[in-house]
Amino acid sequence: MQDFLVFVSAIMQVDVSQLSGNTKYKEFKKWDSLMHMRLVMEVEDKYGVEIPIDEVPTIVTLKDLYRYTLPT
């Protein structure tokens, strides 16, 4: 997960030490609705996955988003 957090920190332009799997959408200043969609698109692009649009609202923590990067 550390590599994933480094990836996300680069997108959010924050130090990786500010992030964890428990970092929450809308509670972390840099993670607003626009960043939410950007993260989804960046994860899809980097990891070659497709996150169904109806599941996007269920992504609340970085751990939730990270799950989409794992092999099924």
Total domains in the chain come to: 1
Is pTM, for the whole model, over 0.85? yes
3-state SS assignment for residue 21? coil
Cβ count near 12 (within 10 Å):
19
pLDDT at 68 over 90: yes
Q: Six-digit token pair at 25?
A: 């959408």
pLDDT, the chain, mean = 97
Domain that holds residue 52: 2-69
The maximal CA–CA distance of the chain, rounded, in angstroms, is 31
Return all residues near 18 (Cβ < 8 A) that are at least 6 apart. Answer: 9, 28
pLDDT computed for residue 4 by the predictor: 98
The CATH number for 39's domain is 1.10.1200.10
